[in-house]
Structure 1
Amino acid sequence: MTLLIVGATGTLGRQVARRAIDEGYKVRCLVRSTKKAAFLKEWGAELVRGDLCDPQTLPEALEGVNAVIDAATSRATDSLTIKQVDWEGQVALIQAAKAANVERFIFFSILDAEKYPEVPLMEIKRCTELFLAESGLNYTIIKLAGFMQGLIGQYGIPILENQPVWVTGNSSPIAYMDTQDIAKFAIRALSVPETEKQAFPVVGTRAWSAEEIISLCERLSAKEARVTRMPINLLRTVRRVIRFFQWGWNVADRLEFTEVLASGRPLNASMDETYKVFGLDPQQTTTLESYLQEYFSRIMKKLKELDYEKNKTKKDKSKKAAFKQSSKANSQ
């Protein structure tokens, strides 16, 4: 089976590609830059230059493809807006996949998207789910809450570097999941008929609030966090102001997502039925504790090694200086 993975250079997409290759699928990746995607080629994937926002590039990429796994989404640093990538681009991809007679289409959405119609990304995800369901394609929708990988930059690194950790509003508990585990579900969906034309929550073992994650990071790193609370009303004001400028539209849309993160409402769901349908063992799902423990163990070990090398260099320099002084004194 030949897979086309869209968004394969992203945090989730690269894990989907890695998993598919390891399981023996023929993997093709739609990429805007072959240079940035060179690591995918090294893994064994075929690279096809194309862009969701350029529909003319999609038919060629879909030639001979049996299934599409769509992990694409806009990034805050992109010049393109959420509407251009997550709506117009996704619609173009779904239509092109339908025209190419693709057998399966796996789409990543966000859990509870229908509950936040005022948040652009959530509303667009909801609309894309509906468009995909009505397209006639044989689809599976996987609804996510959050990635564990994102917590490293948000909490881990700032705590280690004694930088501020930002917390907004009433922190919503979120069931973060390791992207490697998410990839496992995505690839399994291709071979399980019961997942066809269905939507499933795929979330972590439990929901964690920002305060709980900070406390866990403090314990694992033996460092105290510098927590800075950002009032939600201040963010709302900033969002309204930057909407007056075209360059701020994408940032403003992203800031809207803080309404989800700071609502206090948990982003979580029962996984009992999902594990049953997919035939996967919940005991093999990575917990947030084990994920962060492994991260901090590696980092603390590296820091100790660097500190050891630094002290060793200082000692060597001191010995050389002492030797030079002794030699100078003897010569006199």
Structure 2
Amino acid sequence: MQVLLVGGTGTLGRQIARRAIDAGHQVRCMVRKPRKGAFLQEWGCELTCGDLLDPETIDYSLDGIDAVIDAATSRPDDSASVYTTDWDGKLNLLRACEKAGVTRYVFLSLLAAEKHLNVPLMDIKFCTERLLADSSFDYTILQGVAFMQGLIGQIAIPVLENQTVWVSETPTAVAYMNTQDVARFAVAALERPETIRRSFPVVGPKAWTSEEIVQFCEKSSSKTAKVIRVSPFLIGLSQRVVSFFEQSVNMAERLAFAEVTGGGIALDAPMDDTYSCFGLDSSETTPLESYISEYYDTILKRLREMEADLDEESRKKLPF
């Protein structure tokens, strides 16, 4: 198929691009800054310069397209509200698809969005889901959770470097998923008629709390973590303070997401029906234990090699 991928330079989007190329699809990625998408072009994707807030560029990007995979979301460094970058952009994209006659639409949403409508990003995801349900699009909605990749910077590296790990006082179990596995579902949806006009949870094999992940990282790295537990009240207070300043609007909206990850309500769901409809094997999904263990095995091996090289160089400088 001729597929337009929106959000191809993101953590998830790049995995979808790679997976779609490997599956034999012709992939076009609409990017705001082509220079940042150069690696996509090297993989075999076609690049087109476009912005969801500029409808004319969307029309150009949709020329000759059979299906759209929408993995776009605002970035942490965006100064504008997510209601501008995400909601207005989604409306522009859907209108352009209708205009171009593109009906196949795969949308990356968030699990349990309907339970957190006071959180801007969840509100937007839920409203987009309702918009698709009320439309004539042949949509597939994938309701994901947090990615394993984010745990490396949030927990794995701080534990390894004896830095402070911040966790919520209210533990929330999250079924983290590898972005490579999420990409499998996004690409499989293109050729599975049974997924049309349906929503599916797409989550990892097991739900973990932050403290359980910290403990596993300690065991895997042979380090002891410095953990500070943060009250949800303090996070809410920080959100209210930064919301007074226009340039901090995006930051305040992202702080609001702490209600989801620290609210105590597990982010998990049964996956049997999802695997069946997408024709995928659950045994091929990455467990969090394997993901973190592989990271530590790789990084610790490199550190040992660096120490060995340093010792060898030091020996060369000895006068005997």
SS in 1 for 2:310: helix
CA distance in 2, matches of 1:24, 1:263: 42
SS in 2 for 1:69: strand
Where does residue 173 of structure 1 map in the other structure?
173
Where does residue 115 of structure 2 map in the other structure?
115
CA distance in 1, matches of 2:105, 2:139: 5
SS in 2 for 1:146: coil
CA distance in 2, matches of 1:169, 1:101: 49
Unpaired runs of 5+ in structure 1? 324-332
Which of these two proteins has the greater Rg computed from alpha carbons? 1
- Identity within the alignment, %: 52
CA distance in 1, matches of 2:276, 2:28: 30
CA distance in 2, matches of 1:158, 1:290: 19
Cα distance, 1:103 vs. partner? 3.4
The amino acid that maps onto 1:196 is I
The amino acid that maps onto 2:152 is I
CA distance in 2, matches of 1:143, 1:49: 28
Where does residue 316 of structure 2 map in the other structure?
316
Please give the TM-score of this superposition, normalised by the length of structure 1.
0.95
Q: Is the 8 A contact 1:8 1:16 kept in 2?
A: yes
CA distance in 2, matches of 1:103, 1:91: 14
SS in 2 for 1:48: strand
Where does residue 65 of structure 2 map in the other structure?
65
Cα distance, 1:25 vs. partner? 0.3
Where does residue 269 of structure 1 map in the other structure?
269
Cα distance, 1:99 vs. partner? 1.1
Where does residue 211 of structure 1 map in the other structure?
211
The amino acid that maps onto 1:193 is P
Please give the per-residue CA displacement for 1:152-173, whole angstroms capped at 9, x wherever unaligned: 0111111111111111231210
SS in 2 for 1:188: helix
Please give the TM-score of this superposition, normalised by the length of structure 2.
0.98
Q: 1:40-119 residue pairs with structure 2 within 5 A? A: 40-119=40-119
Aligned residue pair count: 320
Unpaired runs of 5+ in structure 2? none
CA distance in 1, matches of 2:204, 2:263: 19
SS in 2 for 1:9: coil
CA distance in 1, matches of 2:253, 2:79: 13
CA distance in 2, matches of 1:86, 1:175: 24
SS in 1 for 2:76: coil
Aligned-CA RMSD value: 0.9
SS in 1 for 2:228: strand
CA distance in 2, matches of 1:52, 1:79: 16
Cα distance, 1:137 vs. partner? 1.1
Please give the per-residue CA displacement for 1:80-105, whole angstroms capped at 9, x wherever unaligned: 32111221101111111111111310
